[in-house]
Structures are given as C-alpha cells and as structure tokens.
Structure 1
C-alpha cells in the first residue's frame, strides 16, 4: 500500500468513474484498475462494486474512505506548508525585540525589508520582552532573530551590535531641572525616579554604575505610562529619546557633558538553521549594520 494507491482510491471514490479518475490522475485507465485491484487485495476486501454501468463504494469502501481522505488531506496540507516553509519568497519570520526599539527602529527595518517586491509574501510573528526572555527564545529556537541588550555568558548566542539609542532625562515642564539644557546623573539623583518594572534594566544599570541609590516613586511597564506620571510631577524618568513623548507636558533633557547611549545587539543562535525566509532577513540585517 502506498500513497499513490490511496490518492487513486480517493479520486475514484469522488468521481465513481474510471475514465474521469484516470484523466484527473493523468494515468492510463488500466494502470488505475491495477492500483485499485492491488489495494483491494492487500486489504482483503472489495472497495467498489458495479451498479449497472456505474460503480459505487461498498460499505467497506465507505469506512476506509472516511479515514483515508482525512489522512491524504493532512499529508497534502503538510506538503503545502513545507513547500511554503522552504520557499525564500514565502514563509514566516519569528522576530523578537525589546520595547525600546518598537516606536521607530523596528518598524523602519521591517517596512524596508517588505517593500522589496520579492519579499511581499513573507510574514512576521513579532514578540516583545526583556533581553533575557529574548535570549531564551533564541536558544530554544522559537525565534529566528532578536534585538536586545548585551547579555553576558551566552556562548550559544551570537550578538552583533546593530544600533544605539540616546537616553535622556524626562521631567515635567514645571520641574526645577526643566530650565537646564543638559543634566548629569548626579543632579538627577536628588529627585524621585519613575523606573521600569524590570529591575535589571539599562536604567538601573546606569544608576548602579554611578553609585546612585535612587528614591523610587513608582515603577511602570512602558514609557508612555512614565510620561503621564512625569507630566504631573510625580517623578522623573530616564528614557530613550522619543519625540512622540513631547505631546505630554514634559521636557526631554540630554545628559552631559557626554550623551548617554545604549547599544543594542542582534541575537541569533550559533546552532540554529535559518529557514530561507529568515535567512534572507538575517542577511538583510547584516547589510543594514554595515551602512
């Protein structure tokens, strides 16, 4: 019993006509008759019987068809999915990134990649999380590419610098620091902070490096929540520079005398084989890094 025999059985069951079935299968009618006869011999029961000049399924044939049609359908669907999976012009890319890159950097790259006509049928699954979550997804193979901070002691993950982002101090427009053009971490340390929920965040690391133990008024998940609280003078926040936040009643002040930058990395697994679509995106990102 083989797949060709089962396909032939399903087609003949649908057409109930040897000539039409053989034409649809693109095989000679005697070949189709032999395939069905061999299948019936292996099963030890007739699957079709003559009814006048036509054929019909036997009761045994109806029972067999119920299972075989579902099995052949699943196989055909699997073949279709696999063909899409290995086609570099189709497929799905699993892409993870941290929140700080979501307002503009990630959308810009994805749009540029998808604007190429040969990539129009490629789709993305997006994931957001902290750097540790992203590294975990890369190692377990549930993500193809991730954008995150540098994470120490991850020998199975390749980390390449991909971009950097300036961080600024966000204060209410009525805050004492609002009149300053630049600010230092030491100056900011005198006030209450609104910090990220993630206590291992970049902001926490910078405060720790400066030997600052901040007074924390609250913790929030994302920058718009921080901006809303800062605007009513419930604290100050260190955030990625984002002009979109200036519609709140806040001021974004650069750090000085040297700006504060955060470097982001592209994470990929050293042992992970890319699908054609993911490999194409990876090569695209490498070219973008060189620019």
Structure 2
C-alpha cells in the first residue's frame, strides 16, 4: 500500500463513513472503496465492521490506524528534515502544550522565537498531559511543553521552570488572609479538581496521599479556569498553580507550605527520534532563555 492509501485509510477510520471521507478527501466513493479494499487485502483481514451504511473500526483496524498514523508522521518528519537541511531557516515545528500554558507562556515564547526565525512555521496541538504524550509517541507532535515529566524511558526531558502550587479559595474564606497554608489544614474542605488523568490532578492526588488526607471531591473539571470559577462561586477550594503577576482572578491564591507543592514544566520529545533542525533550533532557544 502507498502513502496516499494510508492517508485515505486514516481519514476513513476517523469518519467511519465512506461518503463523508470521500467528500473530505475530494475523491469519488468508488475510488475510496477500491483503495480500502487494497489496504484490507494487504492487511489480510477486514479493518471495519459494516453496519448498514456505516463503518465501525474493528480490532484489526485499530492496529492498522495506530501504525498508519505513525508511518505518515515518519514520512512527514523525513520531508521536514530534508527541507530544513536545504534551508535551515525554514521548516515546521509541531508543538504540543498544556491548556494551562496557552494564555501566557507558550504564546510569549512563540512570539519571541518567531522574531528570531520568522520563516519557521508551527503546527500547534493543545491538550492534557496524557494526550500530549500520546501525540509525541504517535508522531503527531515533535516536541512538547508539558507537566509532569513523562516516562523517562520513552522521553527526553529538559526542565524549563518550576511553579509553586497554591490553594485557590473564595474571597472571604477562612484561609484567604493567610500568607500560606498547609494542605492538611484543608482536609475538611470540599475540593474542585481536574479530571483524571490530567497532570495537575495526578500531582494533587500525590499531595493528598503525602499528607494522608482524602477530601470530598465536589466536581471534576477539564480546565483550570472552570475550577477557579467554581471556587469563586463557593463550591469548594482547589489546588492550582500560582498565577503570574498581573493576571486577573476572582479567587484568592494562598501558597501551599508543603515542600512538594510545585509543578515542574519542561520540554519533552521522543528519546528514539532525532529532532529535525527547526525543532532543535526551537528547543535550544527555549533552553537558552
């Protein structure tokens, strides 16, 4: 099977509908169906279960999709590296980053880097830590700005900075006037947290375990702003990073006194893959700042 057929298969696997996939790809339905037949013949097994007009990716298809995405990503990485060698000031960086870094750190670093290398383009992916790790391993992203540190056997890691964690409380809360507070002092408080397996949730769970508490969880959110909004509304308290100076907030941030109440933010990329020149340039730029 050729690269185009793999790309068509990925689109079909994502839509699970021949008509929709054909329209997205700009090919006829018979052409797409014939391509799928060739891919399945090469695989030696059906990749979809047919249910009426819909297709449902089966166990064989999920295996093929995983490797098809990686193959496409590897070919694109090769093309990017060749293009970068021909002209080191051009190329693309596929960058993944956390939601919580999207409103200040990442945009600021991208702005500064693009002043130095305006011809290097970016493909951006924003997600949770586990989604970012998957994107790097699948080849969808080249490098990530993430936290906590991913599996050291699979990823190279370089720490960029460390931020303290704090307890977000409503205005007028009993902790609001304190200079700092121990997490154990909030054992009886209801907590608003991130869903598992978000990185900040894993850090929070570790901190609870360290001090031997198991607080009531009143809501599991998917973003930190949602957490702080519910804290402001009086639903509970939350463990969040200390906000940067000048940022607006409707809650009071009380630093946690626990020694491990911090979040390490860093760069991560696949240990078994050499970075393309534009990505290496971006990595060295961030490390040097």
Q: Give the TM bin, normalised by the shorter chain.
A: 0.5 to 0.7
Structure 1 residues 99, 210: closer, same or farther in 2, change over 3 A?
farther
State the 1:155 CA deviation. Answer: 1.6
Structure 1 residues 246, 271: closer, same or farther in 2, change over 3 A?
closer
Structure 1 residues 259, 132: closer, same or farther in 2, change over 3 A?
closer
Partner of 1:92: 92
Runs of 4+ in 1 over 6 A off after TM superposition: 79-82
- 1:209 matches 2:207: no
State the 1:81 CA deviation. Answer: 11
Residue 169 of structure 1 aligns to a residue whose secondary structure is strand
Partner of 2:101: 101
Could you tell me the TM-score, scaled by structure 2's length? 0.64
Structure 1 residues 205, 102: closer, same or farther in 2, change over 3 A?
farther
Partner of 1:124: 122
* Structure 1 residues without counterparts, runs of 5 or longer: 1-78
* Structure 2 residues without counterparts, runs of 5 or longer: 1-78
Could you tell me the TM-score, scaled by structure 1's length? 0.64
CA offset digits 1:120-166 (Å, max 9, x no partner): 11111111222232222222322111122345644232112221111
RMSD: 2.7
State the 1:253 CA deviation. Answer: 0.7
Residue correspondences, number: 208
- Is the CA contact (8 Å cut-off) linking 2:194 and 2:223 kept in structure 1? yes
Partner of 2:269: 268
Partner of 1:18: none
CA offset digits 1:144-202 (Å, max 9, x no partner): 11122345644232112221111111111122221222111011121000000124532
- Is the CA contact (8 Å cut-off) linking 2:195 and 2:222 kept in structure 1? yes
Residue 214 of structure 1 aligns to a residue whose secondary structure is coil
- 1:177 matches 2:168: no
Q: Distance in 2 between matches of 1:80 and 1:145?
A: 14
Residue 272 of structure 2 aligns to a residue whose secondary structure is coil
Q: Distance in 2 between matches of 1:113 and 1:171?
A: 36
Partner of 2:45: none
What aligned pairs does 1:12-91 form with structure 2 within 5 A after superposition?
83=83, 86-91=86-91
Greater shift after overlay, 258-267 or 218-227? 258-267
State the 1:270 CA deviation. Answer: 2.1
- Is the CA contact (8 Å cut-off) linking 2:81 and 2:276 kept in structure 1? no
- Is the CA contact (8 Å cut-off) linking 1:131 and 1:151 kept in structure 2? no
Q: Distance in 2 between matches of 1:248 and 1:277?
A: 37
What aligned pairs does 1:183-262 form with structure 2 within 5 A after superposition?
183-199=181-197, 201-243=202-244, 247-256=248-257, 258=259, 260-262=261-263
Q: Distance in 1 between matches of 2:165 and 2:157?
A: 21
Q: Distance in 1 between matches of 2:131 and 2:148?
A: 13
